[in-house]
Amino acid sequence: MSGYRSTTKLALASSQPSVKTVSEQPAIQVSNLSIVFDTNRGQMIAVDRVSFDVAAGEFVCIVGPSGCGKSTVLNTIAGLEVPFEGEILVEGSPVGHPRPDIGMVFQQPHLFPWKSVRRNIAHGPRMLGKSAKEAGAIADDLIAMIGLKRFADAYPNTLSGGMQQRVAIARALANEPRVLLMDEPFGALDAQTRAVMQDNLLELRDRIKATIVFVTHDIDEAIVLADRVLIMSAGPGRILREIAVNLPRPRSSAILIEPTYLALKRDCLEVIRAEGLRAFNQSDSS
């Protein structure tokens, strides 16, 4: 997975203070975001007055049960979910339509089946007006970074689920987005592949400068990856608690047995259990 070519970049990136820098302006500012869906049983409040900031270079995970609106929040930041109330600023400017400085990785890889790995990754740069040669060079760099050189000319249907998702990540990075949004990208993978992918992502993250917002329902995944975890509740979606993850970096999935890690996990679980109980009692009485 790691090559000689990348180690220099890695050293460069880690020598810069990446996480704790508080720049004058957060990369993402979400204020009073509410999203209401029209269903056949009337209006449903999916997300209720959610506010949070993400600092430049920060890695934030949003955790919550399915249906809590965490994916909807992400899609809204991406500019894919249009009607919403409140304000979302990414890099200082309001969102409302997809922007090339915002990259997105979905739960399914959604690779273009008719394009080879190289052409899939080169798609973004091509669409932004780069020549085929430039786009190809960008793609080749990223292919080396995700360790799929042997599969550069393969078509997606010949790759495993984990490989496909690596290509999807590389494809999202090809436009050098300032903000990378990830919607349960490892949710469809088996446990072993998922652990490897988490380590890969942390490694990759050291080399790119993007701010990352990562949605998952897996608390372990959130704590391993994030600088900060936002815990959401369901029906309507709200942010219950914000937990800073002060575990040292570089991290790997090996921290899963550290005492400090376990303490953090207990905090998260308590919040989630209390909320689950509340939701259960509420649905019981209504």
Q: Which is nearer to another protein, 168 or 255 (CB)?
A: 168
Give me the helix-helix angle, 117-127 and 132-145, nearest 10°: 130
Give the footprint of another protein on residues 178-197 (CB under 8 A).
Answer: 190, 192-193, 196
Which residues in 4-43 contact another protein (CB under 8 A)?
none
Sign of torsion over alpha carbons 143, 144, 146, 149: positive
Q: Which of 48, 155, 187, 279 binds another protein (CB under 8 A)?
A: 155
Two structure tokens written together for 266: 């207990």
Across 155-190, b (16+ Cβ under 10 Å) vs e yields: bbeebeebbbbbbbbbbbbbbebbbbbbbbbbbebe
Burial 72-107 (b: 16+ CB within 10 A, else e): bbbbbbbbebeebeeebbbbeeebeeebeebbbbbb
Distance CA 9, CA 123 (A): 24
Q: By CB under 8 A, tell whether 127 contacts another protein.
A: yes
CA dihedral (148, 151, 152, 156) in degrees, to 10, reads -110
Applying CB under 8 A, among 32, 131, 160, 260 the residue interacting with another protein is 160
Instruction: Output 180 or 255, the one with its CB closest to another protein.
Output: 180
* Closest separation in Å from C-beta 72 to another protein: 13
Min. distance of Cβ 25 from another protein in angstroms? 23
Strand, coil or helix: what is 242? strand
Residue given tokens 């998260």 in the structure block: 268
Binder of another protein out of 8, 16, 43, 157 (CB under 8 A): 157
Q: Which of positions 192-221 make contact with another protein (CB under 8 A)?
A: 192-193, 196
Q: Answer yes or no whether residue 258 interacts with another protein by CB under 8 A.
A: no
Shortest Å distance, C-beta 188 to another protein: 12
Output 164 or 216, the one with its CB closest to another protein.
164
Interface region with another protein, contact rule CB under 8 A, candidates 32-40, 123-131, 236-244, 274-282: 123-131
Cβ–Cβ under 8 Å, residues 107 and 184: yes
Candidate ranges 26-34, 152-160, 210-218, 257-265; the one touching another protein (CB under 8 A)? 152-160
Shortest distance (Å) from residue 192 CB to another protein = 6
CA distance 33 to 50: 5
CB of residue 155 vs another protein: minimum separation in angstroms?
5
Q: Is the dihedral of CA 137, 142, 148, 154 positive or negative?
A: negative
Which pair of tokens denotes residue 183? 């919607």
For the segment 60-119, give every residue that binds another protein (CB under 8 A).
78, 80, 98, 100, 102-104, 106, 108, 110-115
Q: Which residues contribute to the site for another protein (CB under 8 A)?
A: 78, 80, 98, 100, 102-104, 106, 108, 110-115, 123-124, 127-128, 155, 157, 160, 162-163, 168, 171-172, 174-175, 190, 192-193, 196
